[in-house]
Amino acid sequence: MTKAFSDLMKLKEVFIMPQGLPPLERLLIDASNDPYSRSKLQEAFKNEDYTTAYLVLAPHFAYAYGLQWIYKARWNSNYKIPLWRSFTNPGRQCVKAFGDFLNALLEVCREIYIYENAGEMFKYIVWELKKEEIDWQVSKKSEVIKTHQNRIGKLKKRENPYNSEDFPHLHRLIGECFDAGDGNNLFRINYFLVITRAYSAWVADMQSNPSWVTIFQENGKILHHASQGKGKKCLFQ
């Protein structure tokens, strides 16, 4: 097992969401522990396929940090995010920008659905987004940014950028946002525009922040690509 992978596994050992949370906050834990990630990891460890395991764990922890940022921002400002002090400022900004986007989605879920169902809806949305990242073998950071920018453009034109097959819950949420915003300028400003602005801010940070990288497999190696012109760097093989 390489150092890069063993370092990621050490992170797994310290990454524990706070216990004893109220129902909605508790669902942040469920959102982090999706069945798709678990099944992929179980199969990878069974076959000692650490390359696949790394490709699953990397986005898993990105989402786990984003969800913990929500918990800290919404419910417990004193909560200490694991290993936060070891992060660089750009690394912390990554977590904040992504967490703010997820938080905007959660806020709209809470507005549209009753309290108990809001967390469930949000959980499935996170699962859908994370599954895309796990399966998304994109070698260039610019390709990821372009995909997100295209989605933002569609949202601004009141087009749903998420198909109902791969993103059934997110597709439904965006559609209901469009419906709720018709004739309700307050909802459009306070909720729907908050999503598009948080999404745009996240993608802008992704574009300028060197801590945002794409991780992918090539010829049996795990590589990451930080930005155009920087080239690819091997994490392990």
Average pLDDT in the chain: 79
Our CA angle for 121, 193, 143, nearest 5°, is 80
Q: Which residue has the tokens 């940070």?
A: 205
Work out the average pLDDT over 111-140: 83
Our CA angle for 86, 232, 152, nearest 5°, is 75
Residue 15 confidence (pLDDT) = 43
Work out the average pLDDT over 47-65: 81
Our CA angle for 98, 155, 202, nearest 5°, is 15
Nearest in space to 215 (alpha carbons), one of 10, 39, 62, 12:
62
Tell me the C-alpha distance between 94 and 126, whole Å.
17
Share of the chain above pLDDT 90, in %: 27
Residue 11 confidence (pLDDT) = 45
- The strand order across the sheet containing 232-236 reads 214-218, 221-225, 232-236
Model confidence over 191-237: pLDDT tens digits?
Answer: 788 899 999 999 999 999 888 877 767 766 666 666 544 555 544 44
User: 97 pairs with which residues across the strands?
Assistant: none
Residue 132 confidence (pLDDT) = 92
Strand intervals (E) in the chain: 214-218, 221-225, 232-236
- Size of the chain in residues: 237
Tell me the C-alpha distance between 172 and 178, whole Å.
10
Tell me the C-alpha distance between 1 and 84, whole Å.
25
Model confidence over 192-204: pLDDT tens digits?
Answer: 888 999 999 999 9
Q: Which residue has the higher pLDDT, 156 or 51?
A: 156
Model confidence over 3-54: pLDDT tens digits?
Answer: 544 544 444 444 444 455 455 556 566 666 788 888 888 888 788 787 787 7
